[in-house]
Amino acid sequence: MGRNFFRIFCPQGLAAKRLSVLKSLLLQWFTIRCKLELLRCVPNASWNKSRQVPGTCFPKVSLCFWRRTHALWVAMLMMVALPGQWTRAAEIDWSSACERMVQHSLASAGIDNPRVLSAMRNTPRHRFIPASQRANAYYDMALPIGSGQTISPPFIVAYMTQTIDPQPTDRVLEIGTGSGYQAAILSPLVADVYSIEIVESLGKRARKTLRRLNYKNVHTKIGDGYKGWPGHAPFDKILVTCSPEKVPPALVEQLREGGRMVIPVGERYQQTLFLMKKTDGKLTTEALEPTFFVPMTGHAEQLRNQKYDASQPRLVNGSFEQGKPGDTQLQGWYYLRQGKLTAELTAPDGQQVLEFQNTTPGRGAQVLQAFGVDGRTVHKLELEISIKATGLRPGRSDQEMAHLEISFFDRRRAPIQRKVIGPWQGNLPWEKKHEILRVPPQARLAVLAVGMFGGVGQLSIDAVRVQRIDSP
């Protein structure tokens, strides 16, 4: 979702690309050298059948060719016979990137359960996502995994896992297997994980991945998670990774007395993550924070009453007037890091603004909001934001700077375009930024992200608006 979106500096993608390029160049070099040496040893390159070894297509070549190329053949055989030597550097990069993710995106953001941090540190997230997305594996961001589904950001996975308080004797039900990553995180923390996926292709792929990585206590099946898994109920904990409009009754029934369930509930683009505890057969609920998950499909989608009109894209609470000063959870916005509502007499719109402050280069300080946009009917968007800055400067690199970005995704949630407004630095009085954006025809979803993105200083924002433009 953008080069600087919720990212830590992770070199593994660059290392993997360099490795691939190196191998490709070596193969090309080997082929060219062999051809050149062959031409040296065979003066007439266009030989006829009389110059071929009987029964083959190989020319009759003196020992000259083999003497000149034997070192090349040995090098190629070593490259094939010792693949570990070619991948070890990339594996070291994966490990280092994972550790940075744990430190920068999890531990510094409030994940403090040592068992959960250990599971996040020891689970290879890059093995659960498509090869085309692996360069982004250890950034704190959602990634497409196919069939319109995504793998959740690492922070959300860790946060939900920590919230259900996993115990070694627990039997956990997961709704929405997806890639299998969440189930793999739970595996070393509990006795058994039962995971349901409604998309058959994803469920089969996740099962293969989990088996290949030897997660023996994870049990999967293809089915509608709205109905739960009654054959293995009751469950000590239930973790739902897709959003219904209301809590499925079957999940309440299958939750053990005293058990805990974490579930995102709400409309298509405005959801809240809830912790629910079962006491005397009833659920007590605690709202945790705004969030954004893929919708629960199947029977849950048929029961959905609130429909979102993607032909009229809009933001919620763009003036930050809902809430009170000091709030660190915002109506309509999610994944807020190092930001809070602040009273501001000179606010461009109302009396409150959202203020970010970061003193640690590389540490995240941003907020997000998703909205539907149908590129078939919406061709242009008008974007406005007012900003004020004090001492803004880059973080660990020039890529870590305060800015706003909008990323567009197609119906399968694959990224198709990203537009950046900024970056901003220095000291700025209140200033309105205005931009006209072209919407890709294949767009169905957009995510707006704004903040420091690893930069240092103080940034205040207000009056964030998005609306369609019908003029040519």
Q: What share of the chain is helix, strand, coil (3-state, %, to 5)?
A: 30, 30, 35
Using CA of residue 74, residue 75, residue 80, residue 83, what is the dihedral sign?
positive
Which residues share a beta bridge with 76? none
Q: What are the catalytic residues?
A: 152
Contact 189, 119 (CB under 8 A): yes
3-class state of residue 122 by DSSP? helix
Question: Which two three-digit tokens encode residue 22?
Answer: 């190196």
Which residues share a beta bridge with 419? 406
- Residue 336: φ, ψ to 5°: -70, 130
Identify which of 290, 199, 459, 229 has the alpha carbon closest to the alpha carbon of residue 239: 229
Question: Which two three-digit tokens encode residue 171?
Answer: 């039997």
CA angle at residue 375 from 371 to 378, to 5 degrees?
85
Cis peptide before 234 (omega within 30 of 0): yes
Q: What residues contact 172, with CB distance under 8 A and at least 6 apart? A: 164, 166, 186, 190, 192, 193, 194, 235, 236, 237, 238, 239
How far from 103 is each of 98, 138, 282, 397, CA to CA, in Å?
A: 9, 11, 38, 18
Q: Are strands 192-197 and 271-279 parallel, antiparallel or unpaired?
A: unpaired
Contact 183, 195 (CB under 8 A): yes
Which residues share a beta bridge with 384? 434, 465
Residue whose entry in the numeric block shows the structure tokens 């007012």: 386
How far from 463 is each of 142, 181, 353, 431, CA to CA, in Å?
A: 27, 38, 8, 11
